[in-house]
Amino acid sequence: MSAAARQPDAAQRCPCLSGLTFGECCGPVLAGEQRAPTAEALMRSRFTAFAIGDADHLLASWHPATRPRSLDLDDGLVWYRLDIESTSGGSPFDTEGEVEFTAHHRGNGGRGELHERSRFERVEGRWFYLDGVVD
């Protein structure tokens, strides 16, 4: 199923569970209509991209120095909850930030979670995912 087919309507709850609608939260970032203002906002948009299968956004938001050439998403995984554990830096005025999160998923192998401390870098006013440490 394509990312467009899985994309929520603008009025639906955003998959990142920010409490905002998709149109108020990650939708404009994924559509390229606006930049993520903070590292956390970019993290939320990346989680949403995993949830809807938008590999293009994941690659575009990955720092050029660490970006893979391609990305194969597992269609068998359903990403259903994002918990932001902590943030450090990452404001609209910072050049670096860190977001610690737990992303919950389910698939054929049952339920699972990914706990990561992700690093972000702002280049020319735009946030990029640099890398992360998975626990």
pLDDT per residue of the chain (135 residues) written in tens, 0 to 9: 455 558 899 999 999 999 999 999 999 999 999 999 999 999 999 999 999 999 999 999 999 999 999 999 998 999 999 999 999 999 999 999 999 999 999 998 899 999 999 999 999 999 999 999 999
Burial class of residue 76 (count of CB atoms within 10 Å of its CB; 0-12, 13-18, 19+): exposed
Tens of pLDDT, residues 86-116: 999 999 999 999 999 999 999 988 999 999 9
- Residue 94's identity, in one-letter code, is D
- Supply the pLDDT for residue 125: 96
- Supply the pLDDT for residue 6: 80
Residue 87: alpha-carbon gap to chain centroid: 14
Residue 34: alpha-carbon gap to chain centroid: 15
Contact assessment for residue 130 and residue 66, using Cβ atoms and an 8 Å cutoff = yes
Give the bridge partners for 88, in sequence order: 98
**In the chain, where the domains are located:** 3-134
- Supply the pLDDT for residue 14: 98
Rg (alpha carbons) of the chain, rounded to whole number: 14
What is this structure's pTM?
A: 0.94
Cα–Cα–Cα angle for 27, 28, 32, rounded to 5 degrees: 120
To the question of domain 3-134 being in CATH 2.60.40.10, the answer is no
Alpha helices of 8-125 — where are they, by DSSP H? 27-30, 39-52, 55-60
